[in-house]
Amino acid sequence: MSKIEIKIIFCDVDETLVWNNTVPQPNVEAIDKLTKSTDTKFVICTGRPFSLAEQVLKEIHLRDKEKEYSICGSGSVIYENKDKKVLYAKQLKRNLLKKLFEFGKKFEIYSFFVGLEYFHLYKNPESEIKKRDAENAKYKILDENFNIDELLDGKEDTIMRIVYAKDNDIEYLKKVRDEILSNEEYKDVLDCFISSGKYLEINPKGTNKGEAIKWLCNHLNVKKENTMGIGDSDNDIDMLKNVGLPVGVANANENVRKVVEYVCQKDYKEGGVQEAIEKFCF
C-alpha cells in the first residue's frame, strides 16, 4: 500500500476512538503527536450531538482550537470547535419529525429526538438513561403527554433528527428500516442506517457522514486522496467511501471490512486509532 499525504483524518467516535466513555491513552498520545508535529487535522465524525462530543474533544485537546472541526449528528452538523461555530446544518422538517414519531409508536421500540443541545428521550428504558448518565450527556425525559409541537418550536432546542432503538435486535431494526423506506412518502426524502447494533438513525436524504466530509473537504480545499477515515460500523460506510484511505479498527463489522483498504490489528479498546495514525502518517 503506497504512502499518501494525509491532510485530514476523519474518525468515528463510539467503538472506534472511544472505549468505556473515554479515549484510550494510546489514541490520545497519537492524536497529540499528529496535531502538534504536523498540519494534519483530526476530525471526529460521530452520531453524537456536539454537547456529547465535547468531552471527547477535551480529552484529545481539540475542544477550543481554531480551524479544527467536528462532524456531529451523523453528518447533520459541522462545527468549528472553537466557540462551537456551526458551519453547516441539515435537519428533518417539522412535519416529517411529527409523522416519524407517530410512525415509530406502532413498533416495539423506543425513540428519541436528537437536538443541537440535548437528547429528548421518549419511553426509554433505564439502560438507556444509565448510558446517557455514564456519558455525562445532556438529556431531557419526555413524559407520555408531552406536546410535540412545543418540542419542535425551537425555543428550547433545535431538533435535527429522530432515532429509533431496540437493544440487541438488529434484524428487527432492519425490518423497521425497510418498512420506512418502502413507504412512498419517506423513501425519497430519508436516509436510514443502523449504528452501534441498537439504533436506527433517521436523517434527511443526503445527510450522512460522507456528504458532510465532502462539504468540509471542499470548504478546506482538501482533495479526497489526501484524507483518511477510521470506523467500525454501518453508519461509517458513507464516511469510508468518501475518503482516500478507508481504515477499519479490528472490531469493524463485515460490511465495513468490505470497503476498507486496511483493518487494524488493534480494536477500539487497544488503540486501533493510534495504529492507523502511526502506520499512515509517520
- pTM of the predicted model as reported, rounded to 2 decimal places: 0.87
The answer, yes or no, to whether residue 60 has pLDDT greater than 80, is yes
**Which region, left, alpha or beta, applies to residue 38 given φ > 0 means left and ψ of -120 to 50 means alpha?**
beta
Give pLDDT, residue 144: 87
Q: What are phi and psi of 164, to 5 degrees?
A: -100, 155
Which set of grid coordinates corresponds to residue 114?
436528537
pLDDT digits (tens, 9 = 90+) for 203-259: 999 899 999 999 999 999 999 999 999 999 998 999 999 999 999 999 999 999 999
The answer, yes or no, to whether residue 2 has pLDDT greater than 60, is no
* Every domain range in the chain assigned CATH 3.30.1240.10: 94-204
The answer to whether 228 and 244 are in contact (CB under 8 A) is yes
pLDDT digits (tens, 9 = 90+) for 114-140: 999 899 999 999 999 998 998 889 999
CA distance 269 to 273: 10
Give pLDDT, residue 168: 80
Q: Which whole number is the average pLDDT over 31-47?
A: 97
* Every domain range in the chain assigned CATH 3.40.50.1000: 8-89+208-281
pLDDT digits (tens, 9 = 90+) for 82-105: 999 999 999 999 999 999 999 998
Max CA pair span of the chain: 58
Give the architecture-level CATH label for domain 8-89+208-281: 3-Layer(aba) Sandwich (3.40)
* DSSP letters for 112-151: EEEESS-EEEES--HHHHHHHHHTT--EEEEPTT--HHHH
What's the mean pLDDT when you consider all of the chain?
Answer: 94
Options 1.10.150.120, 3.20.20.70, 3.30.1240.10, 3.40.449.10; which CATH number does 94-204 get? 3.30.1240.10
Give pLDDT, residue 108: 82
β 227-231/8-11 pair status? parallel
Closest C-alpha to 11, from 228, 271, 221, 220? 228
